[in-house]
Structure 1
Amino acid sequence: MSLIANKLAISFIMKAVVIFFIWMILYYGYILPNGYFNPILTKALLGSTVGVLKAIGYDSYNVQNVIYVDGKSSVLVADVCNGLELMVLYVAFFICFPGPIKHKLIFIPVGLIVLFLINVVREVLLVLNYNYFQKTFEFNHKYTYVFFVYAAVFLIWRYWLNNYSIIGKQISSKG
Protein backbone atom coordinates (compact mmCIF):
# COMPACT_ATOMS: atom_id res chain seq x y z
CA MET A 1 0.00 0.00 0.00
CA SER A 2 1.38 3.39 -0.95
CA LEU A 3 1.99 6.20 1.50
CA ILE A 4 -0.92 8.19 -0.02
CA ALA A 5 -3.27 5.20 0.34
CA ASN A 6 -2.18 4.76 3.98
CA LYS A 7 -2.83 8.44 4.72
CA LEU A 8 -6.26 8.25 3.07
CA ALA A 9 -7.16 5.10 5.01
CA ILE A 10 -6.06 6.63 8.33
CA SER A 11 -7.93 9.85 7.53
CA PHE A 12 -11.09 7.87 6.67
CA ILE A 13 -10.91 5.84 9.89
CA MET A 14 -10.28 8.91 12.05
CA LYS A 15 -13.18 10.81 10.47
CA ALA A 16 -15.44 7.75 10.81
CA VAL A 17 -14.64 7.37 14.51
CA VAL A 18 -15.27 11.08 15.17
CA ILE A 19 -18.55 11.01 13.23
CA PHE A 20 -19.60 7.85 15.08
CA PHE A 21 -19.07 9.48 18.48
CA ILE A 22 -20.78 12.71 17.39
CA TRP A 23 -23.74 10.68 16.12
CA MET A 24 -23.99 8.67 19.35
CA ILE A 25 -23.93 11.85 21.45
CA LEU A 26 -26.52 13.56 19.23
CA TYR A 27 -28.79 10.52 18.95
CA TYR A 28 -28.78 9.38 22.57
CA GLY A 29 -28.33 12.84 24.06
CA TYR A 30 -30.80 14.81 21.97
CA ILE A 31 -32.72 13.04 19.17
CA LEU A 32 -33.98 10.02 21.13
CA PRO A 33 -34.85 11.83 24.40
CA ASN A 34 -36.37 14.77 22.50
CA GLY A 35 -38.66 12.38 20.63
CA TYR A 36 -39.10 14.80 17.76
CA PHE A 37 -37.23 13.70 14.64
CA ASN A 38 -37.83 9.93 14.68
CA PRO A 39 -41.64 10.25 14.78
CA ILE A 40 -41.59 12.75 11.88
CA LEU A 41 -39.59 10.37 9.70
CA THR A 42 -41.69 7.38 10.79
CA LYS A 43 -44.94 9.25 10.00
CA ALA A 44 -43.58 10.19 6.58
CA LEU A 45 -42.70 6.54 5.95
CA LEU A 46 -46.14 5.40 7.15
CA GLY A 47 -47.97 7.96 5.00
CA SER A 48 -45.92 7.14 1.91
CA THR A 49 -46.34 3.39 2.40
CA VAL A 50 -50.12 3.73 2.82
CA GLY A 51 -50.19 6.02 -0.22
CA VAL A 52 -48.41 3.47 -2.39
CA LEU A 53 -50.65 0.67 -1.13
CA LYS A 54 -53.72 2.75 -2.02
CA ALA A 55 -52.24 3.59 -5.42
CA ILE A 56 -51.86 -0.11 -6.24
CA GLY A 57 -55.42 -0.86 -5.18
CA TYR A 58 -55.33 -1.82 -1.51
CA ASP A 59 -57.75 -0.36 1.02
CA SER A 60 -55.13 0.75 3.51
CA TYR A 61 -54.67 3.20 6.33
CA ASN A 62 -52.61 3.50 9.46
CA VAL A 63 -53.54 3.95 13.09
CA GLN A 64 -50.55 5.29 14.93
CA ASN A 65 -47.66 3.14 13.68
CA VAL A 66 -49.68 0.14 12.47
CA ILE A 67 -50.58 -0.26 8.80
CA TYR A 68 -53.97 -1.81 8.09
CA VAL A 69 -55.00 -3.44 4.82
CA ASP A 70 -58.65 -4.35 4.24
CA GLY A 71 -59.38 -3.60 7.89
CA LYS A 72 -56.76 -6.02 9.24
CA SER A 73 -53.56 -4.97 10.97
CA SER A 74 -50.51 -5.89 8.94
CA VAL A 75 -47.24 -4.27 9.94
CA LEU A 76 -46.02 -2.15 12.83
CA VAL A 77 -43.55 0.46 11.63
CA ALA A 78 -41.33 1.24 14.61
CA ASP A 79 -38.96 4.21 14.74
CA VAL A 80 -36.01 1.86 14.26
CA CYS A 81 -37.50 0.92 10.86
CA ASN A 82 -37.58 4.48 9.54
CA GLY A 83 -34.08 4.33 8.04
CA LEU A 84 -32.57 7.19 10.05
CA GLU A 85 -29.46 5.26 11.10
CA LEU A 86 -28.87 4.06 7.54
CA MET A 87 -29.24 7.62 6.29
CA VAL A 88 -26.66 8.81 8.82
CA LEU A 89 -24.30 6.02 7.76
CA TYR A 90 -24.82 7.00 4.12
CA VAL A 91 -24.01 10.66 4.78
CA ALA A 92 -21.04 9.77 7.01
CA PHE A 93 -19.47 7.83 4.14
CA PHE A 94 -19.47 10.94 1.96
CA ILE A 95 -18.06 13.07 4.74
CA CYS A 96 -15.25 10.59 5.39
CA PHE A 97 -14.13 10.03 1.80
CA PRO A 98 -12.21 12.74 -0.01
CA GLY A 99 -13.90 14.12 -3.09
CA PRO A 100 -15.30 17.28 -4.62
CA ILE A 101 -17.83 18.98 -2.35
CA LYS A 102 -20.09 19.86 -5.31
CA HIS A 103 -20.60 16.16 -6.06
CA LYS A 104 -21.20 15.39 -2.40
CA LEU A 105 -23.82 18.15 -2.26
CA ILE A 106 -25.65 16.37 -5.09
CA PHE A 107 -25.19 12.75 -4.01
CA ILE A 108 -26.14 13.27 -0.37
CA PRO A 109 -29.66 14.73 -0.82
CA VAL A 110 -30.47 12.67 -3.91
CA GLY A 111 -29.25 9.53 -2.16
CA LEU A 112 -31.29 10.30 0.95
CA ILE A 113 -34.41 10.61 -1.19
CA VAL A 114 -33.57 7.34 -2.95
CA LEU A 115 -33.03 5.62 0.42
CA PHE A 116 -36.37 6.90 1.69
CA LEU A 117 -38.13 5.65 -1.45
CA ILE A 118 -36.40 2.27 -1.17
CA ASN A 119 -37.58 2.07 2.43
CA VAL A 120 -41.15 2.83 1.30
CA VAL A 121 -40.94 0.00 -1.24
CA ARG A 122 -39.49 -2.23 1.50
CA GLU A 123 -42.43 -1.44 3.79
CA VAL A 124 -44.97 -2.04 1.00
CA LEU A 125 -43.35 -5.41 0.28
CA LEU A 126 -43.34 -6.26 3.99
CA VAL A 127 -47.07 -5.49 4.23
CA LEU A 128 -47.82 -7.65 1.19
CA ASN A 129 -45.47 -10.36 2.48
CA TYR A 130 -47.27 -10.36 5.82
CA ASN A 131 -50.71 -10.48 4.23
CA TYR A 132 -49.99 -13.24 1.71
CA PHE A 133 -46.98 -15.23 2.96
CA GLN A 134 -46.84 -14.90 6.75
CA LYS A 135 -44.52 -17.89 7.12
CA THR A 136 -41.74 -16.04 5.31
CA PHE A 137 -42.34 -12.64 6.91
CA GLU A 138 -39.81 -12.85 9.76
CA PHE A 139 -37.02 -14.13 7.52
CA ASN A 140 -37.69 -11.54 4.83
CA HIS A 141 -38.03 -8.73 7.37
CA LYS A 142 -34.77 -9.64 9.06
CA TYR A 143 -32.62 -10.65 6.07
CA THR A 144 -33.97 -10.33 2.53
CA TYR A 145 -35.19 -6.75 2.51
CA VAL A 146 -32.28 -5.56 4.65
CA PHE A 147 -29.87 -7.12 2.14
CA PHE A 148 -31.48 -5.25 -0.75
CA VAL A 149 -31.53 -1.92 1.08
CA TYR A 150 -27.85 -2.19 2.02
CA ALA A 151 -26.99 -3.40 -1.49
CA ALA A 152 -28.58 -0.24 -2.89
CA VAL A 153 -26.51 1.90 -0.51
CA PHE A 154 -23.36 0.04 -1.50
CA LEU A 155 -24.08 0.52 -5.22
CA ILE A 156 -24.58 4.27 -4.76
CA TRP A 157 -21.34 4.51 -2.78
CA ARG A 158 -19.48 2.43 -5.33
CA TYR A 159 -20.72 4.56 -8.22
CA TRP A 160 -19.64 7.72 -6.42
CA LEU A 161 -16.25 6.24 -5.47
CA ASN A 162 -15.51 5.10 -9.01
CA ASN A 163 -16.63 8.30 -10.69
CA TYR A 164 -16.17 11.21 -8.31
CA SER A 165 -13.95 10.47 -5.33
CA ILE A 166 -10.27 11.27 -5.27
CA ILE A 167 -9.49 7.67 -4.30
CA GLY A 168 -11.51 6.21 -7.16
CA LYS A 169 -9.80 8.46 -9.67
CA GLN A 170 -6.36 7.49 -8.35
CA ILE A 171 -7.17 3.77 -8.56
CA SER A 172 -8.68 4.03 -12.05
CA SER A 173 -5.74 6.00 -13.40
CA LYS A 174 -3.37 3.22 -12.26
CA GLY A 175 -5.50 0.42 -13.72
Structure 2
Amino acid sequence: MGLKHIIKKNKAVIKFLLVFFGSYLILALLYQAYLKYCPSEEFYPDYITHQVAHQSYKLIDVLGYETYIVKHPDNPSMLLAIKDQYVARIIEGCNSVSVIILFLSFILAFSKGFKETIFFIFIGGLLIYALNLVRIVLLTLGLYFYPQYGDFMHEILFPLFIYGVVFLLWLYWVNKYKKHKAK
Protein backbone atom coordinates (compact mmCIF):
# COMPACT_ATOMS: atom_id res chain seq x y z
CA MET A 1 0.00 0.00 0.00
CA GLY A 2 1.65 3.24 -1.16
CA LEU A 3 1.54 6.72 0.29
CA LYS A 4 -0.77 7.90 -2.51
CA HIS A 5 -3.31 5.23 -1.60
CA ILE A 6 -3.16 6.12 2.10
CA ILE A 7 -3.61 9.82 1.31
CA LYS A 8 -6.48 9.12 -1.08
CA LYS A 9 -8.17 6.81 1.43
CA ASN A 10 -7.83 9.36 4.26
CA LYS A 11 -8.43 12.52 2.25
CA ALA A 12 -11.32 13.72 4.44
CA VAL A 13 -9.33 13.23 7.65
CA ILE A 14 -6.28 14.99 6.23
CA LYS A 15 -8.43 17.87 5.00
CA PHE A 16 -10.07 18.17 8.43
CA LEU A 17 -6.69 18.20 10.22
CA LEU A 18 -5.17 20.74 7.83
CA VAL A 19 -8.14 23.11 8.01
CA PHE A 20 -8.55 22.73 11.78
CA PHE A 21 -4.91 23.19 12.72
CA GLY A 22 -4.25 25.72 9.96
CA SER A 23 -7.16 27.98 10.89
CA TYR A 24 -6.43 27.56 14.61
CA LEU A 25 -2.78 28.52 14.10
CA ILE A 26 -3.59 31.53 11.91
CA LEU A 27 -6.33 32.83 14.23
CA ALA A 28 -4.25 32.24 17.38
CA LEU A 29 -1.30 34.11 15.83
CA LEU A 30 -3.58 36.98 14.78
CA TYR A 31 -5.01 37.14 18.29
CA GLN A 32 -1.53 37.14 19.84
CA ALA A 33 -0.53 39.95 17.46
CA TYR A 34 -3.63 41.89 18.50
CA LEU A 35 -2.68 41.47 22.17
CA LYS A 36 0.93 42.48 21.54
CA TYR A 37 0.46 45.37 19.11
CA CYS A 38 -2.88 46.85 20.17
CA PRO A 39 -2.52 47.73 23.84
CA SER A 40 -4.90 50.32 25.22
CA GLU A 41 -4.65 52.53 28.24
CA GLU A 42 -8.32 53.45 27.97
CA PHE A 43 -9.44 49.82 27.64
CA TYR A 44 -6.99 48.07 29.94
CA PRO A 45 -5.57 45.40 29.61
CA ASP A 46 -6.99 45.02 26.09
CA TYR A 47 -10.28 46.05 24.54
CA ILE A 48 -11.99 42.64 24.60
CA THR A 49 -10.97 41.72 28.16
CA HIS A 50 -11.96 45.18 29.34
CA GLN A 51 -15.40 44.81 27.76
CA VAL A 52 -15.89 41.37 29.32
CA ALA A 53 -14.94 42.77 32.75
CA HIS A 54 -17.25 45.76 32.30
CA GLN A 55 -20.17 43.65 31.07
CA SER A 56 -19.69 41.16 33.92
CA TYR A 57 -19.68 44.02 36.40
CA LYS A 58 -22.88 45.44 34.88
CA LEU A 59 -24.64 42.06 35.02
CA ILE A 60 -23.74 41.61 38.70
CA ASP A 61 -24.87 45.18 39.35
CA VAL A 62 -28.23 44.47 37.65
CA LEU A 63 -28.65 41.52 40.01
CA GLY A 64 -28.58 44.01 42.88
CA TYR A 65 -25.07 43.61 44.23
CA GLU A 66 -22.91 46.63 44.97
CA THR A 67 -19.99 46.00 42.64
CA TYR A 68 -17.18 47.73 40.79
CA ILE A 69 -14.11 47.01 38.65
CA VAL A 70 -10.63 48.55 38.76
CA LYS A 71 -7.36 48.02 36.94
CA HIS A 72 -5.09 45.59 38.73
CA PRO A 73 -2.03 47.57 39.89
CA ASP A 74 0.52 44.79 39.23
CA ASN A 75 -0.57 42.74 36.23
CA PRO A 76 -2.72 43.07 33.10
CA SER A 77 -6.14 42.31 34.50
CA MET A 78 -9.23 43.87 36.00
CA LEU A 79 -10.27 43.34 39.61
CA LEU A 80 -13.96 42.71 40.17
CA ALA A 81 -15.29 43.55 43.64
CA ILE A 82 -18.55 43.01 45.46
CA LYS A 83 -19.11 45.50 48.25
CA ASP A 84 -15.62 46.19 49.59
CA GLN A 85 -14.16 42.79 48.76
CA TYR A 86 -12.11 41.99 45.65
CA VAL A 87 -13.56 38.69 44.51
CA ALA A 88 -12.28 37.95 41.02
CA ARG A 89 -9.51 38.93 38.66
CA ILE A 90 -10.47 39.02 34.99
CA ILE A 91 -7.49 38.29 32.77
CA GLU A 92 -7.14 37.93 29.02
CA GLY A 93 -7.87 34.19 29.31
CA CYS A 94 -11.31 34.99 30.72
CA ASN A 95 -12.57 36.82 27.64
CA SER A 96 -13.60 33.68 25.67
CA VAL A 97 -11.62 34.57 22.54
CA SER A 98 -9.41 31.46 22.73
CA VAL A 99 -12.48 29.25 23.17
CA ILE A 100 -14.21 30.95 20.23
CA ILE A 101 -11.09 30.41 18.08
CA LEU A 102 -11.13 26.70 18.98
CA PHE A 103 -14.86 26.50 18.19
CA LEU A 104 -14.47 28.38 14.91
CA SER A 105 -11.54 26.22 13.74
CA PHE A 106 -13.54 23.04 14.24
CA ILE A 107 -16.57 24.43 12.42
CA LEU A 108 -14.41 25.55 9.49
CA ALA A 109 -12.89 22.06 9.31
CA PHE A 110 -16.42 20.67 8.86
CA SER A 111 -17.54 23.49 6.58
CA LYS A 112 -20.65 22.81 4.55
CA GLY A 113 -21.35 25.92 2.57
CA PHE A 114 -20.26 29.49 3.08
CA LYS A 115 -23.50 31.07 4.35
CA GLU A 116 -24.49 28.27 6.69
CA THR A 117 -20.95 27.98 8.12
CA ILE A 118 -20.57 31.73 8.68
CA PHE A 119 -24.03 31.92 10.26
CA PHE A 120 -23.29 29.04 12.65
CA ILE A 121 -19.88 30.53 13.56
CA PHE A 122 -21.54 33.88 14.28
CA ILE A 123 -24.41 32.43 16.36
CA GLY A 124 -22.12 29.95 18.14
CA GLY A 125 -19.54 32.64 18.86
CA LEU A 126 -22.20 34.94 20.32
CA LEU A 127 -23.59 32.09 22.42
CA ILE A 128 -20.12 31.22 23.75
CA TYR A 129 -19.42 34.88 24.53
CA ALA A 130 -22.75 35.34 26.33
CA LEU A 131 -22.42 32.10 28.29
CA ASN A 132 -18.88 33.11 29.22
CA LEU A 133 -20.29 36.30 30.77
CA VAL A 134 -22.80 34.18 32.70
CA ARG A 135 -19.90 31.93 33.76
CA ILE A 136 -17.92 34.91 35.09
CA VAL A 137 -20.96 36.31 36.92
CA LEU A 138 -21.80 32.96 38.52
CA LEU A 139 -18.16 32.30 39.37
CA THR A 140 -17.77 35.74 40.93
CA LEU A 141 -20.92 35.32 43.02
CA GLY A 142 -19.84 31.80 43.92
CA LEU A 143 -16.43 33.07 45.06
CA TYR A 144 -18.11 35.79 47.09
CA PHE A 145 -20.56 33.52 48.88
CA TYR A 146 -18.60 30.24 48.89
CA PRO A 147 -14.87 31.07 48.76
CA GLN A 148 -13.99 27.63 50.14
CA TYR A 149 -15.13 26.12 46.81
CA GLY A 150 -13.17 28.59 44.69
CA ASP A 151 -10.68 26.13 43.22
CA PHE A 152 -13.40 23.61 42.37
CA MET A 153 -15.55 26.27 40.70
CA HIS A 154 -12.68 27.90 38.79
CA GLU A 155 -10.72 24.80 37.80
CA ILE A 156 -13.44 22.19 37.26
CA LEU A 157 -17.08 23.31 37.32
CA PHE A 158 -17.01 26.39 35.10
CA PRO A 159 -14.46 25.13 32.54
CA LEU A 160 -16.66 22.02 32.24
CA PHE A 161 -19.62 24.34 31.64
CA ILE A 162 -18.03 26.43 28.86
CA TYR A 163 -16.20 23.56 27.13
CA GLY A 164 -19.29 21.39 27.49
CA VAL A 165 -21.30 23.97 25.56
CA VAL A 166 -18.63 24.09 22.85
CA PHE A 167 -18.67 20.30 22.63
CA LEU A 168 -22.47 20.26 22.30
CA LEU A 169 -22.29 22.88 19.54
CA TRP A 170 -19.70 20.72 17.75
CA LEU A 171 -21.93 17.66 18.06
CA TYR A 172 -24.88 19.60 16.67
CA TRP A 173 -22.76 20.84 13.75
CA VAL A 174 -21.32 17.40 12.93
CA ASN A 175 -24.81 15.87 12.95
CA LYS A 176 -26.05 18.60 10.60
CA TYR A 177 -22.93 18.08 8.47
CA LYS A 178 -23.64 14.36 8.18
CA LYS A 179 -27.24 15.03 7.13
CA HIS A 180 -26.03 17.63 4.61
CA LYS A 181 -23.52 15.15 3.13
CA ALA A 182 -26.20 12.45 2.91
CA LYS A 183 -28.40 14.63 0.66
TM normalised by structure 2 equals 0.82
Is 2:12 aligned against 1:11? no
Residues 153-172 of structure 1: pairs in structure 2 closer than 5 A: 153-163=166-176, 165=177, 167-170=178-181
Q: CA 1:68–1:139 in structure 2 vs 1: closer, same or farther (change >3 Å)?
A: same
1:63 matched to which residue of 2?
70
Moved more, 35-44 or 56-65: 35-44
Partner of 1:25: 29
Contact preservation (8 Å) 2:111, 2:117: no
Asked if 1:148 is matched to 2:152, the reply is: no
Q: Which has the higher helix share?
A: 1
State how far apart, in whole Å, the 2-side matches of 1:155 and 1:138 are.
25
User: In 1, distance between residues paired with 2:64 and 2:28?
Assistant: 41
Deviation at 1:23, TM superposition (A): 3.4
Verify: 1:136 aligned to 2:136, yes or no: no
C-alpha RMSD over aligned residues: 2.3
Question: Residue 10 of structure 2 aligns to a residue in which SS?
Answer: helix
Return the alpha-carbon distance in structure 2 between the equivalents of residues 57 and 7 of structure 1: 55
> In the alignment, residue 21 of structure 1 is paired with which amino acid?
L
Structure 1 residues 34-85: Cα deviation after superposition (integer angstroms, max 9, x where no partner): 1449711111111111111111110111012011111211100011111111
3-state secondary structure, aligned to 1:46? helix
Cα 1:7–1:148, aligned 2, differ >3 Å: closer, same or farther? same
Paired residue secondary structure (1:68):
strand
Report the number of matched residues. Answer: 167
* Change over 3 Å in CA distance of 1:54–1:9 after alignment to 2: same
Percent sequence identity over matched residues?
Answer: 24
For the residue of structure 1 that corresponds to 2:46, the secondary structure is helix
Structure 1 gaps of 5+ residues are none
Residue in 1 aligned with 2:4? none
Aligned in 2, Cα 1:25/1:46: closer, same or farther, shift over 3 Å?
Answer: closer
